[in-house]
């Protein structure tokens, strides 16, 4: 085959390759299947303590020395919307009494400070490093009396967590919004459940306990610390590092991507072969 004969396949061949590459790339981009969690938060040196294996989750506030620098950071970055006393304005809610876990979640995932005023804040590179984040956490947590605060910053022991239980709990309570592969999906009225592929262990635990945004809240009465650690282990394990031994993960969104590939590459490719075997009219 030369020249003309090869030439007649260039355009359809390029089209197939181009479209399928686009499809594969977007399918892969829509939920990065093998991306790991974000940087694990390093617990500040002054409060380092070896976790006992019996405690699946421990809740700890940053040391009180963090409150003052936290106040400065808060005033510079957060008070314009949340008020200097964090009691909220018409633009932003009251933060007093929400607890350290809430503040840590929103700030460490980069959702806060808000870059664009939209319906739902999105994860973006956090503006503060771990220490600064914990300083802000310490400040906001200090605004409410001890007993009237939400949960403190959790540290999760996933090493002893039962993965199978985590699997069951995740599918029952989380998959309905985040999908069973943690890819995330659109909710009603413009909201969405985000992908779980970049959440750290701490952030997952924080989200479970505090229920950010449209996410429901699972307190200790609904879900024990052991169960939380199991879910966290499942998310940071098989969800973020899925066993894709079957080949390309295709985004983990199931039949939508599969149909795309099956029709375009499968049927389309074979039609090209038929085009080669046969004649034109």
Residues 151-210 close enough to bind another protein by CB under 8 A: 162-168, 171-173, 175-181, 183-193
**12 vs 39, which CB is nearer to another protein?**
12
Tell me the C-alpha distance between 271 and 13, whole Å.
Answer: 11
Give the position of tokens 């991507």.
Answer: 257
Tell me the C-alpha distance between 55 and 64, whole Å.
Answer: 23
Residue 186 pairs in a beta bridge with 192
* Residue 130: how many other CB atoms lie within 10 Å: 16
Nearest distance, CB of residue 234 and another protein, angstroms: 7
- Angstrom CA distances, 69 to 132, 138, 209, 238, stand at 8, 9, 26, 38
Tell me the C-alpha distance between 64 and 44, whole Å.
Answer: 12
**31 vs 67, which CB is nearer to another protein?**
31
Site string for another protein, 38-77 (x = CB under 8 A): ----------------------------------------
Stretch that binds another protein, among 66-74, 82-90, 103-111, 213-221 (CB under 8 A): 213-221
> Quick check: bond before 65 cis, omega within 30?
no
Tell me the C-alpha distance between 111 and 125, whole Å.
Answer: 8
Window 221-280: residues binding another protein (CB under 8 A) = 221-222, 234, 237-238, 242-250, 252-256, 258-259, 261-263, 265-267, 269-271, 273-280
Window 22-41: residues binding another protein (CB under 8 A) = 26, 30
**76 vs 248, which CB is nearer to another protein?**
248
**44 vs 88, which CB is nearer to another protein?**
88
Site string for another protein, 70-109 (x = CB under 8 A): ----------------------------------------
Stretch that binds another protein, among 50-58, 70-78, 81-89, 216-224 (CB under 8 A): 216-224
Residues 6+ apart with CB under 8 A from 215: 177, 193, 207
238 token code pair: 């098989």
């Amino acid at each position: 085959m030369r020249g003309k004969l090869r030439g007649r396949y260039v355009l359809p061949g390029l089209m197939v390759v181009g479209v399928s590459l686009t499809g594969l790339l977007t399918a892969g981009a829509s939920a990065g299947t093998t991306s790991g969690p974000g940087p694990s938060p390093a617990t500040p040196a002054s409060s380092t303590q070896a976790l006992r294996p019996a405690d699946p989750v421990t809740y700890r506030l940053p040391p009180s020395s963090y409150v003052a620098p936290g106040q400065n950071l808060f005033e510079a970055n957060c008070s314009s919307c949340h008020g200097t006393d964090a009691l909220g304005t018409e633009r932003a809610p009251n933060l007093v009494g929400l607890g350290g876990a809430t503040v840590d979640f929103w700030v460490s995932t980069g959702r806060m400070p808000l870059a664009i005023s939209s319906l739902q804040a999105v994860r973006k590179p956090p503006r503060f490093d771990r220490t600064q984040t914990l300083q802000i956490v310490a400040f906001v947590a200090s605004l409410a009396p001890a007993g009237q605060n939400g949960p403190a910053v959790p540290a999760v022991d996933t090493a002893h967590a039962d993965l199978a239980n985590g699997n069951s709990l995740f599918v029952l309570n989380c998959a309905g919004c985040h999908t069973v592969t943690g890819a995330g999906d659109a909710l009603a009225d413009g909201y969405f459940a985000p992908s779980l592929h970049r959440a750290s262990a701490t952030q997952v635990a924080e989200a479970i306990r505090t229920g950010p945004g449209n996410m429901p809240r699972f307190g200790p009465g609904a879900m024990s610390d052991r169960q939380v650690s199991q879910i966290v282990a499942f998310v940071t394990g098989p969800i973020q590092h899925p066993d894709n031994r079957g080949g390309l993960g295709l985004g983990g969104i199931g039949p939508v991507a599969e149909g795309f590939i099956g029709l375009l590459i499968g049927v389309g490719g074979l039609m090209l072969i038929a085009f080669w075997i046969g004649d034109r009219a």
